[in-house]
Structure 1
């Protein structure tokens, strides 16, 4: 995920951007995809079919979406597409809606989401985090990471209670006029729950997932499958504080799905700074 802000690119920055696009759009297809298809044709066909299904879940399905998925920042999601399709099957009969309302979740899930939001509001997190985040474009505080509590200041004991479905609890803070580029999440073992903690004054703070745009001024709660192409924007003159929660995806096999997320925790515990390389991480 990259941050965007109004700025004039220097010569070095412009060169870096041109190189980055050349690497993704020219060198990656020629030097990686073409040899892979030549030497492993059956596996290449398998991945092409999985990727086609996965990419076509996005709306709209156009050249830009396909380019981003196959040779842009979605290639990691493409590599994991066979696993994600298996997770889709394990989630049946709960269909993936892409974008969810709270009422779409099973009652036990609704209860945990409501409780974690209540705990965040009771902790007055905006006031507590304001001073520590105001110097950064984007800041992320983690209180829980894929099922494991973290010792974060401020301490919110309610975040550390036993949860059955809540896996990750954090607060995402965008400073004034900061946005992400369009990007894909990687794994569909969880759903992303966002709840805006402060009141936004206009419609310049929003999230876009496919063809759905949700404005934080109107709807503070937004739940979605983050492997879909999405972006978050705060084009206002005030910071945006958003509760950031991952929950186990609804399934008849919640322990199995939670087990997948436990593996993710062990694989990513020391590398959060890579995935969130454009954030100031505090945990």
Structure 2
């Protein structure tokens, strides 16, 4: 069977080639060029094309570190097929340490984009036209926002046996059933037939080695399953199977005040357990936050101050047996 053609932004990558393609959609207002490296490694042996992407939100840098480690540890040099790495998709947000594009838009809500739309929309359009059509599989790495720490987890659409099998292989500590959000990168990928896993772990503007290692080892397990993992790079066997969470809910602060978290992400709590305290600065009140049900804390707020209505915990409701 002949090798598939891979041409990105007018540059062809032949079997056995390594190439870094610089994607430039727009410049800063200072006329400074911002080029996004797309790192492509092709084996001489035909096989699947896998994309590892991160930084759709510019402040979610733990995903960038996962993809960086995949590169520096040469995990991205496949035994067969092709591996494409984009450590920072939203380079504008990354430079400014912000979630959004300079036009104020969330890149992960404007896919598939338009050629003549806003800056974020134009960027999404080029990703959809130039990169996604080549991809068979994608793992997109994210982190929690606004000081909220995500336990390492894979999110997949419900009732999709193929993605369920792939998430079993990745084997993050948690797997959540999660519908596609309109305008998201994940939604655009799935509409074009790409099998995509969305990894969440850690929080924005933070690096956490435990989260990084979960992401790297999960990626290695997927590559090993696809027959793409290089020699002497065997994937680590997971300690336990992933916990599948079918439904979950957010716990919100009933008062504003100083926030003392007592149930960090990944912990199992019983109904009625005190999982946090909210106090005022002047010693007038102290409110206990109790778990409304037994379940796993899959996201917890690390902020020292919260306001009434803030999301402070994400807790599982129903776990698949």
Q: Please identify which structure carries the higher strand content.
A: 2
With the shorter chain as reference, the TM-score category is under 0.3
TM-score by length of 1: 0.26
**Structure of higher CA gyration radius:** 2
Higher relative contact order (CA 8 A, sep 6+): 1
